[in-house]
Amino acid sequence: MEKKLIYNRILLKLSGEALMGGREYGIDPQRLEQYAREIASVAEMGVQIAIVIGGGNIFRGLQGAGAGMDRVQGDYMGMLATVINSLALQGALEKLNIATKLLGGLAIEPIVEETSGKRIVEYMENNKVVLVSGGTGNPYFTTDSASALRAIEMKADIILKGTRVDGVYTTDPEKDPSAVKYERLTFDEAYQKKLKIMDLTAFTLCRENNMPIYVFDMNRPGNLLKVLIGENIGTLVS
């Protein structure tokens, strides 16, 4: 018997660093293909999907500011890095015959159309996977904030935060072997425990608009589908 989907409209947040795979910089073609296959498999089931990818594998505005660069210019460079990553994932999805649309906080004719909640929904309802690049289109805001904003605009059921760790832990499990995983957290608990799930602006947006966040390991094949059918493989914050 086919399992029932518990989420039908999702915003998938991916980090730019995740696209590096085993590399130190840039995009690993194997990781890109793996992500595309995961997304394609659930898109073919009729799930409405919007995707926001970070740009940290190419450039981060804060790193530029730390090296003496103007923060505003650095942030715009970071936004352009997210466009590069989105174009790469768009290409990988279209190779698998998945129809896509690339929108952005920054409009870049002819490749990136300016985003709005209404446009995201229209394209999703026309069976397109929508990639939303360029952050919020404003400096000083992260792609976490862009994810929260877009998810609320498009009335997503949930934000799925795909990481390389299988949920939220008491401390960093990659550094502390005694770290304990949380299965569920309220926004208030996560805030009080100072758990770094998203930056504070994004987290507050989600909390004030009752937008749940699910943190899971995107690098394990099949996990995206498992989340969508309700298997308990990560951490739910709501």
Residue 212 lies in a domain: yes
Residue corresponding to tokens 């996560």: 190
**Residue at token pair 């026309």:** 126
- Which tens digit of pLDDT belongs to each residue from 152-177? 999 999 999 999 889 999 988 888 88
Contact by Cβ (8 Å): 78, 40? no
101-129 per-residue burial string, b: 16 or more CB within 10 A, e: under 16: bbbbbbeeeeebeebeeebbbebbeeebb
The helix, strand and coil proportions of the chain, stated in percent and rounded to the nearest 5, come to 40, 20, 40
Query: Domain limits at 195?
Result: 9-237
The answer as to whether 105 is a domain residue is yes
pTM of the model: 0.95
Q: How many CB atoms lie within 10 A of CB 183?
A: 11
Tally of domains within the chain: 1
Confirm whether 116 is domain-assigned: yes
Residue 229: predicted pLDDT? 95
Whether 2 is covered by a domain: the verdict is: no
**Tens digit of each residue's pLDDT, the chain (238 residues):** 467 999 999 999 999 998 998 888 899 999 999 999 999 999 999 999 999 999 999 987 667 667 788 889 999 999 999 999 999 999 999 999 999 999 999 999 999 999 999 999 999 999 999 999 999 999 999 999 999 999 999 999 999 999 988 999 998 888 888 999 999 999 999 989 988 899 899 999 999 999 999 999 999 999 999 999 999 999 999 9
Question: For residue range 133-144, what is the model confidence (pLDDT) as tens digits?
Answer: 999 999 999 999
Q: What is the CATH number of the domain that holds 169?
A: 3.40.1160.10
In a domain, 150, yes or no: yes
